[in-house]
Amino acid sequence: MTQLRKGSFIKRAKDISIGGALALAILSSGMMTGCSSNEEDESAYSYEETAYTKGVRSHIKEVKPGEFKITDEESVDADKSMAIVTYLDGHTDSLSTEAAKALIDKDIQNNNSYVGHHSGLSSMLLYGGMGYFLGRSMNNGYINNYRNQDNGNYARSVYSNPATYNKSQSVAQQVNASRTTRTVNSRPAGGRSGFFGRSAGRSGG
Would you place residue 145 in the very low, low, confident or very high pLDDT band (cuts 50, 70, 90)? confident
DSSP, collapsed to helix, strand or coil, labels residue 88 as coil
Does any domain span residue 168?
A: yes
Would you place residue 82 in the very low, low, confident or very high pLDDT band (cuts 50, 70, 90)? very high
Domain count, the chain: 1
* Domain of 131, in residue numbers: 51-181
Does any domain span residue 204?
A: no
Lowest-confidence range among 2-6, 50-54, 66-70, 151-155?
A: 2-6
Quote the distance between the C-alpha of residue 8 and its chain's center: 68
Does any domain span residue 34?
A: no
Does any domain span residue 197?
A: no
User: In sequence order, which residues have a C-beta less than 8 Å from that of residue 190 and are 6 or more positions away?
Assistant: 199
Does any domain span residue 162?
A: yes
Does any domain span residue 125?
A: yes
Report pTM.
0.68
* pLDDT in the model for residue 154: 86
* pLDDT in the model for residue 117: 73
Sheet holding 67-77, edge to edge: 67-77, 54-64, 82-86, 92-96
Across the chain, mean pLDDT equals 79
Does any domain span residue 198?
A: no
Better pLDDT: 71 or 36: 71
Would you place residue 160 in the very low, low, confident or very high pLDDT band (cuts 50, 70, 90)? very high
Does any domain span residue 177?
A: yes
Is the predicted pLDDT of residue 3 greater than 60, yes or no?
Answer: no
User: In sequence order, which residues have a C-beta less than 8 Å from that of residue 186 and are 6 or more positions away?
Assistant: 45, 46, 47
Lowest-confidence range among 8-12, 61-65, 121-125?
A: 8-12
